[in-house]
Amino acid sequence: MNVKEELLKALAGGDFISGAALAERLGVSRNAVWKAVKSLESEGYVIESVTAKGYRLAESSNRLSESLILSHLPDRSMCSSVRVFDELGSTNITAKELASAGAPDGTVVAAETQTMGRGRLGRSFASPPGSGLYMSVIVRPELELQLCSMITAAAAVAVAEAVENLSGAETRIKWVNDIYMNGRKICGILTEASLGLEMHSLDYAVIGIGVNVSGSFEGELADIATSVEAECGVRPDRNALCAEIIKELRKYLPTIGERGFLTEYRRREMLTGSEVTTTVGRETLTGKAVGIDDDANLIVELPDGTQRHIGSGEANRTRKK
């Protein structure tokens, strides 16, 4: 890490630190600290400087930064690298390009804003700057192919838990992988996989995560989407949230084989017990969601009593006419 990155990391705690203490910690002169502060300010970071107290990173900095994300991780082995961009078309697209070029397991791509944020089922994902966390994680798990479909459900548990850890508020999961707070969506996940040459193993998967951290939605979206801050009054720091998600993914992804994430998934799943409508290929099914099976499929009981295990797509509560 260079002086600037070291300085950012040192200031990440949010407390004032004197120029002398910073110089000692970084092993550079006070003048070098001052220059690094100026350089960070020119990049848009807001650094408060108070006589006899020192420097502190203002909360209003609110910028995504590789150093700040890493500073929230207990050790570097949690992720191989973090790449932060001001603007990308889609973090998933960039992550897939990096993965195809050989980027290792645990590479994280994040962006302040996306111009072509992608959602599931061909939808777009609104990605305004400053108010959301848009990140993609490259994973190369050694998993049998039929278990790979559960990456997305395990990721949903990881993200739900990370948001809860930082906000103190409860989240729910709507099958397959939408995260909800108080009945409206705060996060969507789009997992894209690439198969190995022999087609019976996974080369890599990119887990794309979009969290609405602050702000509100208008028009039709206002009924279905919301943000963490709007729901619970707490605005998690986006760098800390990114790191927390990385930690929770590290915890839950290795449990896919023995279904270690399923208890937490089932506990939060919110369609179970409701009348739902789901589309399977060209067929639209209406029935009662009665649970999640051991492969994270949604079990729907049809009016004739038969049960269908739905592996992909989307299900919604049936609107009462």
Contact residues: ligand BTN, CB under 6 A: 90-92, 114, 117-120, 123, 125, 134-136, 178, 188-190, 208-210
Contact 118, 90 (CB under 8 A): yes
Q: Around Cβ 134, how many Cβ atoms within 10 Å?
A: 27
Q: How far is the CB of 93 from ligand BTN (least distance, A)?
A: 7
Q: How far is the CB of 241 from ligand BTN (least distance, A)?
A: 13
Q: How far is the CB of 19 from ligand BTN (least distance, A)?
A: 38
Q: How far is the CB of 51 from ligand BTN (least distance, A)?
A: 42
Nearest one of 194, 191, 225 to 120, comparing CA atoms: 191
Comparing CB distances to ligand BTN, the nearer of 174 and 247 is 174
Q: Which residue in the shown chain puts its C-beta closest to ligand BTN?
A: 188
- One-letter amino acid identity for 241? L
Q: How far is the CB of 205 from ligand BTN (least distance, A)?
A: 13
Nearest one of 193, 242, 228, 199 to 92, comparing CA atoms: 193
Comparing CB distances to ligand BTN, the nearer of 22 and 176 is 176
Contact 26, 33 (CB under 8 A): yes
How many CA atoms, within 13 angstroms, populate the side-chain half-sphere of residue 166?
23
Q: Where are the alpha helices (DSSP H) in the chain?
A: 3-11, 19-26, 30-42, 66-71, 91-100, 151-167, 221-224, 228-232, 238-252, 262-268
Q: How far is the CB of 64 from ligand BTN (least distance, A)?
A: 12
Comparing CB distances to ligand BTN, the nearer of 125 and 204 is 125
Comparing CB distances to ligand BTN, the nearer of 36 and 245 is 245
Q: How far is the CB of 247 from ligand BTN (least distance, A)?
A: 18
Comparing CB distances to ligand BTN, the nearer of 17 and 207 is 207
97 contacts: CB under 8 Å, gap ≥ 6: none
Long-range contacts of 42-45 (CB under 8 A, 24+ apart): 45/8
Comparing CB distances to ligand BTN, the nearer of 115 and 263 is 115
Nearest one of 2, 3, 22, 1 to 11, comparing CA atoms: 22
**Straight-line distance from the first to the last Cα atom of the chain, in angstroms, rounded to the nearest whole number:** 60
Comparing CB distances to ligand BTN, the nearer of 20 and 224 is 224
Strand partners, 52: none
In Å, how far are 120, 131, 158, 167, 279 from 199, measured between CA atoms? 23, 39, 28, 41, 27
Comparing CB distances to ligand BTN, the nearer of 221 and 302 is 221
Comparing CB distances to ligand BTN, the nearer of 275 and 314 is 314
d(CA 32, CA 20) in angstroms, rounded, equals: 11
Q: How far is the CB of 169 from ligand BTN (least distance, A)?
A: 20
Q: How far is the CB of 94 from ligand BTN (least distance, A)?
A: 9
